[in-house]
Every structure is written in structure tokens, then in C-alpha cells.
Structure 1
Amino acid sequence: MGSLFGTDGIRGVAGSYPLDTPTIYACAQSLVLHLERRLGRPPRIVIGRDPRESGRWIEGILIRGMLDHGADVVSAGVITTPGIAYLTRTQAFDAGVVISASHNPVPDNGIKLFSHRGMKFDDAFERLIEEDMERVPEPPKTIVSPWLDSDESLRRSYIGYLIDEIGRGLDLSGWRIALDCANGAASEIAPRVFEALGAEVTLFAAEPDGKNINRGCGAVHIEVLAGRMADASWDLGIAFDGDADRAVFVGSDGRVFDGDQTLYAIALQMNARGQLAGNLVVATVMSNWGLEKGLRE
């Protein structure tokens, strides 16, 4: 078996390897068996997904594999990737699973695994999962996927966290904000948060039907929102991708802010509010010296 896990979990076309039924089922049982060996008890796992049409099918196979091997599984339904990271960290889950292909088109999907700390498992853990997948028994020839009702309280908990903690002290009264939700996982969450903080919200691409995620919208097509901004009177535009693990910001004149500009603005705001822990900003290799110079000044 070649390497299954890339930089952002397992990715592929839904229904084809590595997102075929036997491989998905093997991933589920391998995750459970490895966690059980580590914990000395059956693990408790939360699963969430973006709204693309293959998500329910993949979720069903994962849940079947986990239940067959003794895990306690809870479905959060359609929720963002940061939402699952938050829930895994705060709701006593041993692992979290996100079913999403992020900004990719609708035929694709993926599986991301999170530890109880709300962070992606490291490469060493993922290698162990792959090794276990090669040793686990063959899955049943017929897999009957169970139906778990999603626990809506989990999504409400995450929305409350965004409003009460992340948005603490933030008053957006008088702000007119355009949100492009990519017909993805943020379609319900984002408007509720920004409206609760006082903003007047205009929504685009917030009607997911399972087939329209990222299609001509969202962060991967930022030019669409930028074009709208230039001809309207919004103060700010925000475009998410399919699972809302990325956001791109657009000014009232249609100017798109790059990642360094966004980091710089967020860092200054957090520092002014006394929320920048250690007076430290962590960037990626994509950031340049200009960001460091600006922050030092």
C-alpha cells in the first residue's frame, strides 16, 4: 500500500481508491484499534462533514467500521473543519474525523483525523494507521451503514464559542459584510455568528445542495466576490472554502488581501485587545520578510 495520507489527510475521488468502501472501512477500524491500544478502552470519536453529496456515504462507512470495533461515535452533521477541531478538544472526544475535500470540486472528498487536542495527528501516527490497515481483517462483503442522527447541540456549542469567546468585545454594529460561503459547511454557521455580533450580512453561495460546493464561488474563486464588492457598498467581504478552514478577505473597493496582510491585521487587533499570547505570531513558509518587518515595527 502506498502512502495514503498527504499534507491534509486522505484525498481522492469518492468511490475510487483510496475513498472506496474497503479502504474507508479499514481506515475506521485501524483508527479505533490503534486508539484503543493507546487508551486501554474504547475511544470516543466525533465525525463531521461538509455538504458534498458523497459525505453521507463516507460517513456511514466510517461509522459502521468504528461501531463494529467498539467505538462510541457521535455525528456532528454538517460542520466546518475548525468546528470539529474545537469539539474534539473541548467535548472529551479522543479523536475527531472530518469528511471533506476542502476547496476541491464536488467529485472529490477526503478524510482528516484530529487528536484529542484538536490538532491533526502527526505523521508518525498516520503511518501507524496505514500499517494497521494492511493487517486488519477484510471488511464484510456487504456493509450496512447505520444512520446516526446528528447531535445539533455540538454545532450550537461551536457557534456559541465563536460568538462568546472569539467575538468577545467585538461590536460589528453598523458594518455591512458580504459572506461567500462556497455552498459549503459555513453556510449556516457564518451568518449566525456575524449577525449575532451586530453586522448586517449579505449572503452569497449559502444554499448547499450537495453538488454545488466550491462551484464558481468561495475562496477558490475570490474574483467573484471581489467583483461584487467593487460595485456595492459593503464594508468587508469574506469568502470561505468548502470546509471553512480558509478564508479570504476583500476590501470595500474589491481589493483582495493576501495572507500576510490578513495575519498582520489580525495580529495588530489581537495585540490591541490584549489577546496576543506571548506577543507572538506564527506564520507559514509562504509568508515573507515584509510581514516580519511590519510586525516588528
Structure 2
Amino acid sequence: MANYFGTDGIRGEVGVHPITVDFFLKLGWAVGSVISEQGKASVIIGKDTRVSGYLFESALEAGFLSAGVDVGLLGPMPTPAVAYLTQTYNAAVGVVISASHNHFEDNGVKFFSAQGLKLSDEDQAKIEQKLSEPMVSVSSKKIGKARRHEQPLSRYIEFCKSTFDRSVNLNGLNIVIDCANGATYHIAESVFSELGAHVTIINNNPNGFNINENCGATNTKHLQQVVLETKADLGIAFDGDGDRLMMVDQQGEQIDGDELVFIIAKAWQAQGRLTNNTVVGTKMSNLGMRHAFRDLGIEFIEADVGDRFVMQQMQRYGAILGGEGSGHIICLDKTTSGDGIVAALQVLEVLAKSQSSLGELKAQMIKYPQVLINIKTKQKPDLTNDKLQQTQKQVEQDLGDNGRVLIRASGTEPLVRVMVEAKNGAVAQQNAEKLASMFNT
């Protein structure tokens, strides 16, 4: 039985199995068959702005209908909006057609449960099992019905605004927002301007091919430039499906997910809102953030890379805040998934209440230089060989408490990722290169 699900749904190059029309047709049928057996019979489908979304939307829709499942179509919607609307529309499953931060040549699909959470391993295994079986459509009398939901945008906009403390406002704040020509293009401006901010929108004209192209959370250079040119107070960048957040301060410096999580966590702790005084990050979370939390007495929990694993640890330890340096930030008292807009509002709420600038808040955490080297591999690498482990142990001893090493195989590409952090950037670079050379011998 093939294993199609990765760390965040199914993703790949359009036209290359499994990102094909025939697979998506059968995938819709397989998911529909699983939920039909559980006595549930409705799903909603959203998508980002890449051109192939229409193709795969139709294929999934046909698959669900052939399994006897009703389909509600949302059109272009951020991934976290689908998580929220799955609950609002009382659907059994929410579906997002997206390759997240990838370019238009790729696409994929993510699923949410009725509770707005990523599907469990058990549910994914049931779907994998169905995919290995022949596709058999229900009878004509049992075919599902499709409809287009009328007001999903306004529902989600109002939800986002409801997560912001209205005892303060954003009046007088000049913000530049980069929508990555993705799924927030018709939502973000309304949310922030209706809360009082003066908004300049960039990269909000998707054409199906320009999603994440030199813009958004994965490339903030354009946003940094516009923030400086317009003398804005700050900039906000989302990725193509709206579940990642990066920000830019008044000086044009990028502020990543680790720094944003720290800003929120410190404020929430001071307000007595940080449940269990705990924050969840990942193996990639910056050592500077870990040390800053240690100094504040905040417990840091390390999860595997991926917002799905962050969520699992949050639930396990009763935390309401977690995130990744890449910009996935989960505010579990507000949402059930990583949400770029909601996370940005929590940062802006801290700004409004503290009367501080984003740069001033950022300066309260010293981020350690991090060097990441990706090494392409033709076969699965052996990360347990004695020579590599001895070298890694020696590097870790040399760095002591002022540095960190992480070597791992990528879960999505044929790569080994070598990451070294140290207080001194040159030291981090030297040691990362030393460890990376172990894979070239």
C-alpha cells in the first residue's frame, strides 16, 4: 500500500503522480467513502490561487459526489479559513487545494477534521487503505450534491477581527501587507483596515502563476523595500495559503516566526494568559529563543518539524501558543491551526497595548546566527555512522551552551539538512561546513 501523506498532506509537481487529475478523483472518492462509513456526508473545498486549483477542485468534487458526499465550494480561501469554516458549516472534512509556500508548478491537498484539526494518523491510514481498493461509485439515487457557499469571505473576516482585543485599536498605524499573490489577496486588507490601520497592499493580484513568486513570507525583500520607501510602521507577509507569517520592522529588518512567538509569549505571560507557562517550538527553533524563554521561566517544548507535530505537543502539554521559525504560529485559544492573519493580530495587539514599536519588541530577544546547509543525496543517508557521530559530538562539546547542532533527513526532499547555531556567525558557518563535508566523502 502506497504512502501518499507527508508531514502536511499530499504535495508535489503538477502532472507527476500523485498530483494528477485521476489521482485526485480517486482521492475524493476515498475520503468520501471513509466519512460516509462514519455516517457523515458533507465536505467543504477551498483552494489557493494557483492555476491548477480549478482542475483539482473539479476532480475532488467529482470524487466526493461519486461517494455520496455533499460538497460545499468556497473558492480561493486561506488554509486556516477552511479549518475555521469546516466547523462553521458543520462539515465532516475541510479540504484545501494548495502547495502552501511552493511556486505554481506544484500543488497538493490538506485535510481538516470536523474539529478544524489536521487529520489523525488513523484517519490518514484509512484513506490510504481506500486508495488501494477499486473505485466504485454509489448508485444514482445516492450521488452527492454540490453547492457554492455564499458568504465564506465575510464570515472569516469577522472571525479574524473577533480575535483582536477591541479595547485597543490600530488607528494611526501604517502597515504594508504582502499577500504573496495568494489566498489572502481579497481578505487581509479588510481585516486590518476595519480595525483602524492605514493599509498599503502589495502582491495582491494573483494570475494563477505568480503565487509566492519573489514575494510573501518566503521572500520579504520586496516588502522590506516598500516599508522603507513608504516610511511605514511595519510590514506583514503571508505565504500563498495564508498559514505562515513574517513581519518587517520600521527599519526594514525581517522578523521571523521564532521572534514573533517570543513577542506574543512574553506579553501573554505578563498578562497571566500563557496557559501552563509553556510554549511549543520545533527542533529548528532558534537557540536564542530557547535561552530567552529560559530567562523568563517559560517552559519550551520541542516538537518535530511541521505544524502538525507542533499541534500534537501543544495538546499534550496543554499549551496555547506554538510555532516555527518559518512562520507557522498557532494561537490555540483563538484558532485550531496555524493562521497568519490571526497571529499578526496578536502581535499588533501587543504593540498597541505596550505602546512599543515592533523593532523594540524584537530587540528583547537575541537571535543566534543559524547556518543551514542542504546536501542532496541519491539514497537514504546513514546518520548513525561512527565518524559522523564522533564529529558531531566534538562540535557540540566545542560549542557548549553557546551553540547547537541538528542533522536530519528532509521529510519532503532527497536532502540532508545540517544546521548549526552559535553566538558567533563565523563559528556556526565553519562547523556547519565541517559537518556537511562528512556527506561528500
- Confirm or deny a common fold (TM above 0.5): yes
Distance 1:152 1:159 in 2: 14
Q: How does 1:103-142 map to 2 (within 5 A)?
A: 103-137=101-135
- Give the 3 Å change call, closer, same or farther, for CA 33–262 of structure 1 in structure 2: same
Q: Counterpart of 2:187 in 1: which secondary structure?
A: helix
Q: Is the 8 A contact 1:26 1:136 kept in 2?
A: no
1:192 Cα offset (Å): 0.6
CA distance in 1, matches of 2:75, 2:121: 27
Match of residue 27 from structure 1 = 27
Residue deviations 1:58-99 (CA, integer Å, cap 9, x gap) = 001101110111111101111100000111133311110000
CA distance in 1, matches of 2:195, 2:31: 39
Q: Distance in 1 between matches of 2:271 and 2:186?
A: 28
1:52 aligns with 2:50: yes
SS of residue paired to 1:186? coil
Paired amino acid for 1:25: L
The CA distance in 2 between the partners of 1:87 and 1:205, in whole Å, is 25
TM-fit CA distance, 1:179: 0.3
Q: Which residue of 1 aligns with 2:95?
A: 97
Gapped runs of 5+ residues in structure 1? 140-145
For 2:13, give the aligned amino acid. V
Q: Structure 1 residues 294, 147: CA separation in 2 closer, same or farther (over 3 Å shift)?
A: farther
Q: Give the match's secondary structure for 1:135.
A: coil
Q: TM-score, normalised by structure 2?
A: 0.62
Q: Which residue number in structure 2 is paired with residue 6 of structure 1?
A: 6
Which residue number in structure 2 is paired with residue 16 of structure 1?
16
Offset at residue 160 of structure 1 (A) = 0.5
CA deviation digits over 1:175-221, x for unaligned, max 9? 00000000000111111100011000001100111111111111111
Higher relative contact order (CA 8 A, sep 6+): 1
CA contact (8 A) 2:46 2:73 kept: yes
Q: Distance in 2 between matches of 1:162 and 1:56?
A: 26
Q: Distance in 2 between matches of 1:269 and 1:161?
A: 22
Contact between 1:264 and 1:295, CA under 8 Å: does it hold in 2? no
Deviation at 1:167, TM superposition (A): 5.1
- Once the two structures are aligned, what percentage of the paired residues are identical? 38
Cα distance in 2 for partners of 1:91, 1:138 equals 28
- Structure showing greater radius of gyration is 2
Letter of the 1:2 counterpart = A
Map 1:165-204 → 2, pairs under 5 A? 165-166=163-164, 168-204=166-202
1:36 is aligned to 2:32: no
1:237 aligns with 2:235: yes
Does the Cα contact within 8 Å between 2:40 and 2:92 map onto a contact in 1?
Answer: no
Deviation, 1:278, is: 4.2
Q: Which runs of 5+ in 2 are unaligned?
A: 138-143, 299-441
**Superposition TM-score, scaled by structure 1 size:** 0.90
The number of equivalent residue pairs is: 289
1:99-122 Cα deviation digits (max 9, x unpaired): 000110111111001111111112
Given that 2:71 and 2:145 are in contact with CA atoms closer than 8 Å, whether structure 1 keeps it comes out as no
CA distance in 1, matches of 2:253, 2:87: 36
Q: Distance in 2 between matches of 1:118 and 1:255?
A: 34
Q: Displacement, 1:137?
A: 2.2
Q: Which residue of 2 aligns with 1:143?
A: none
How far is the alpha carbon of 1:271 from its aligned partner? 4.5
- Secondary structure at the counterpart of residue 148 of structure 2: coil
